[in-house]
Amino acid sequence: MPTAKHPIYFRPQLEAMFLPVEQMLQIDRVNSIDGERLVCEMDVSSHWVFPLHFPSDPIFPGTLLIEAAGQAVAIWGWHAGLRGRPRLVKVEAKFESPVLPEDRFVTFMATVRLRKNICLGSVGLFVGERKVAEVTAVIIIAKF
């Protein structure tokens, strides 16, 4: 997986964007944004959700992976200069492999196209070389 040596956004900068905060902010760092492409990561090895989601057989919930993919697309929109309230208006997801407590982080590799204030994202989710999911997310960024 390509990853930057020096991320361009860390969690404190992401919390300053119009994104969910605290437990609901899923993205921990953005490693690169190059044109339509974005690479970011979510730490999962000690994520708060594992003790709560099937405690005897913990698995990372698909809904939070979809949320994280949507946040990645919204971050791309913010970086592209859009300011406003991001709203996930359409999503499709295909899951291929579970995210488990022993996994360290999930890498999100996105390609995003912009049409006015609409971000159309295709996001691949990976743990190492293992593909976890493919999420297509449409985010509208409503101006303040």
Terminal CA-CA length for the chain? 36
Mark whether 6 is an active-site residue.
no
Q: Are strands 130-142 and 85-95 parallel, antiparallel or unpaired?
A: antiparallel
Residue pair 110/73 in contact (Cβ under 8 Å)? The answer is: yes
* Other Cβ atoms closer than 10 A to 111: 15
Q: Which of 6, 47, 53, 79 is catalytic?
A: 53
Tokens of 70: 């949507």
Residue pair 105/46 in contact (Cβ under 8 Å)? The answer is: no
Residues that are catalytic: 53
